[in-house]
């Protein structure tokens, strides 16, 4: 019997398996690669990226994992607040000035200023809500964040806006994977807080690309990882848990004293059949929105206007943001080297439209829009491009989501939940909940050992 069976090889499962690496563990992953919604690939000095791209900074669980695994991350040097709209590309200056620098009808400009003041006031309130109070349990803070303006949608909060005003607000809110009428008002406001307070929150890049972290951990875990292994059912016994899985067309099972269940909530709801009813019901109510992303490798040899930008919001396009994945390299160059790596990102309604199309069609639409946004030479400089579909791109905070949190946080069974759906900071939540589940497992195993039920000791560190 294993001490712990980890199910799911995304960041949450990998963080848990990393913390449990001196115990007798196995990690079961249904896909043929580790990383889940983290996916990047090296191309010489550049990397293509399709998934999570910016990460939490100092003092975060992400920072601890990166340090322990010996992976380098740095603040992305490029601006996080570029904007391309109505034929204008803005890469510098204060965001408050943008509505006056983008050509648009007066009605939209007036609505933007009015709504900007309204949202700005709530962003100040939000800053107070998210602040960790001294000595406070992080779970209490997380509940407060979920409960903030959780009774209505962001659309209900801002009301109907004229065309260009609505278009300018949309890319920030929909990064959540939800459209403005799907996301709660509080979560929408939280996104503006994240974008306006640049430098805080998620703004570090991983040198070599995000998969450097997941692949680094995978190397250390070695043969404790089983790929192409789909878990279909998890059932408690009196003092253990049976994990049933399918591998190479065969049904198999493994028994563990504890399970860290780090699959998306939709899967966890389906496979963990005997979890307490309220927890299982809460898992079934988590909602994910879709993303479509694409990565472009280019070979241009001259400096580009967007070299100093990391993120450029692109209202009214097929993607809502273009991300310069060469930003970390640009920041350390004396002389601009040839080539670049650009990621496009279409959430929620934009993704739903694209998901119906072929990859070739999506790439053609993206390239046309990139030509408009970054300059007409862009398409000609592309040497490689690839689409990724994420049907469960991210869990979002909908009106009423806060009420599910107490059940999801309750422990008591031998199946310990982990994953980004348990909090509001994506990769940071995934890693933090993976660590927390691992710590709980270690603590319970230690107690069982004292009681003489576990004979195994942690393996020698190394
Ligand atoms: C395009 C995109 C951009 C993003 N940008 C950012 C960003 O910049 N910053 C940020 O912080 N976050 C970002 N995110 C979100 C971030 O990637 C996720 O929050 C995080 O990676 C989730 O990790 P996880 O371990 O909780 O889930 P996942 O990564 O989904 O891992 C779950 C794993 O479980 C496996 N699995 C599923 N079913 C089974 C089964 N039955 N048996 C075994 N294994 C199973 C899956 O294959 C997967 O590997 C982005 C996501 C996307 C898609």
Residue 198 predicted with pLDDT over 60: no
What's residue 458's pLDDT?
Answer: 65
Over range 279-304, report the average pLDDT: 97
Ligand 1 atom showing the smallest separation from residue 14 Cα = 25
Share of residues in the chain with pLDDT > 90 (%): 89
461, pLDDT greater than 80: no
pLDDT surpasses 70 at 259: yes
412 closest CA partner among 258, 210, 230: 258
CATH annotation of 288-395: 3.90.660.10
Q: Which atom of ligand 1 is nearest to the CA of 420?
A: 26
* CA angle, residues 55, 56, 61, in degrees to nearest 5: 115
Question: Quick one: which of 259, 242, 260 has its CA closest to 251?
Answer: 242
Considering only CA atoms, which residue is closest to atom 11 of ligand 1? Answer: 427
Domain ranges, ordered by start, for the chain:
2-37+57-73+207-287+400-450, 97-197, 288-395
- pTM > 0.85: yes
Task: Check residue 459 and give its pLDDT.
Answer: 59
Q: Which residues of 228-266 are buried (b: 16+ CB within 10 A; e: fewer)?
A: ebbbeebebeeebbbbebeeeeeeeebebbbbbbbbbbb
Q: Could you tell me where the DSSP H helices lie in 324-380?
A: 327-331, 348-355, 359-374
429 Cα–ligand 1 center, Å: 11
Ligand 1 centroid, distance to 16 Cα (angstroms): 14
Whole-number pLDDT of residue 195: 78
201 confidence band (pLDDT: 50, 70, 90): confident
How many angstroms does the Cα of residue 38 sit away from the middle of ligand 1?
6
Homologous superfamily of 2-37+57-73+207-287+400-450:
FAD/NAD(P)-binding domain (3.50.50.60)
Smallest CA separation from ligand 1 atom 31, residue: 10
Distance 426 CA to ligand 1 centre (A): 9
Q: Are 431 and 440 in contact (CB under 8 A)?
A: no
Index of the ligand 1 atom closest to the CA of residue 9: 49
Q: Is 454 helix (H, G, I), strand (E, B) or coil?
A: coil
365 dihedral zone (left: phi>0; alpha: psi -120 to 50; beta)? alpha
User: Over the stretch 43-80, which tens digit does the pLDDT of each residue have?
Assistant: 999 999 999 999 999 999 999 999 999 999 999 998 88
Q: What is the pLDDT of residue 200?
A: 60
Backbone angles phi, psi at 256, to 5 degrees: -135, 155
> Which residue's entry shows tokens 């990859």?
359
Neighbours of 301 (CB within 10 A): 9
Residue 199 has pLDDT above 90, yes or no: no
- pLDDT confidence of residue 462: 39
Nearest CA to ligand 1 atom 35: 8
Q: How confident is the model at residue 194 (pLDDT cuts 50, 70, 90)?
A: confident
Mean pLDDT for 264-287 is: 97
Residues lining ligand 1, CB < 6 A? Answer: 7-13, 28-31, 36-38, 51-55, 202, 230-231, 262-264, 267, 271, 291, 293, 345, 390, 393-394, 419-420, 426-427, 430
From ligand 1's centre to the CA of 275, what distance in Å? 22
313-360: per-residue pLDDT in tens?
999 999 999 999 999 999 889 999 999 999 999 999 999 999 999 999
């Amino acid at each position: 019997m294993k001490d712990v069976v980890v199910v799911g090889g995304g960041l949450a499962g990998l963080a848990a398996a990393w913390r449990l690496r001196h115990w007798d563990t196995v990690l079961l992953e249904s896909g043929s690669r580790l990383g889940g919604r983290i996916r990047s690939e090296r191309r010489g000095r550049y990397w293509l990226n399709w998934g999570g791209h910016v990460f939490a900074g100092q003092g975060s669980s992400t920072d601890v994992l990166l340090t322990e695994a010996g992976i380098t991350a740095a603040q992305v040097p490029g601006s996080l607040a570029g904007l391309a709209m109505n034929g204008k590309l803005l890469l510098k200056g204060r965001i408050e000035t943008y509505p006056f620098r983008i050509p648009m009808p007066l009605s939209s400009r007036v609505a933007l200023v009015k709504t900007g003041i309204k949202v700005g006031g709530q962003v100040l309130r939000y800053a107070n809500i998210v602040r960790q109070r001294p000595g406070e349990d992080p779970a209490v803070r997380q509940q407060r964040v979920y409960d903030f303006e959780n009774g209505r949608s962001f659309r209900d909060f801002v009301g109907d806006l004229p065309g260009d005003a609505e278009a300018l607000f949309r890319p920030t809110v929909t990064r959540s994977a939800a459209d403005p009428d799907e996301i709660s008002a509080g979560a929408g406001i939280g996104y503006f807080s994240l974008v306006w307070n640049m430098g805080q929150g998620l703004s570090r890049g991983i040198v070599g690309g995000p998969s450097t972290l997941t692949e680094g951990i995978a190397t250390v875990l070695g043969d404790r990882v089983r790929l192409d292994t789909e878990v279909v059912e998890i059932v408690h016994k009196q003092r253990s848990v049976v994990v049933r899985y399918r591998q190479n067309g065969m049904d198999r099972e493994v028994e563990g004293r504890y399970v860290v269940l780090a699959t998306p909530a939709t899967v966890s709801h389906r496979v963990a059949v005997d979890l307490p009813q309220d927890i299982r019901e809460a898992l079934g109510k988590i909602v994910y929105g879709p993303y479509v992303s694409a990565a472009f490798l280019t070979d241009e040899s001259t400096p580009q206007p967007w070299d100093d930008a990391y993120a450029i919001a692109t209202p009214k396009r097929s993607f809502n943001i273009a991300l310069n994945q060469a930003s970390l390299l640009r920041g350390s160059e004396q002389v601009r080297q040839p080539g670049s790596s650009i990621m496009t990102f279409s959430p929620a309604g934009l993704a739903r439209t694209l998901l119906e199309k072929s990859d070739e069609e999506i790439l053609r639409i993206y390239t046309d829009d990139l030509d408009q946004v970054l300059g007409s030479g862009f398409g000609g400089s592309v040497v490689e491009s690839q689409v990724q579909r994420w049907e469960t791109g991210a869990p979002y905070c909908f009106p009423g989501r806060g009420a599910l949190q107490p059940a999801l946080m309750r422990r008591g069974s031998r199946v310990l939940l982990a994953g980004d759906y348990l909090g509001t900071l994506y990769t940071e939540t995934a890693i933090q909940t993976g660590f927390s589940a691992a710590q709980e497992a270690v603590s319970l195993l230690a107690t069982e050992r004292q009681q003489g039920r576990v004979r195994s000791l942690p393996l020698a560190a190394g």
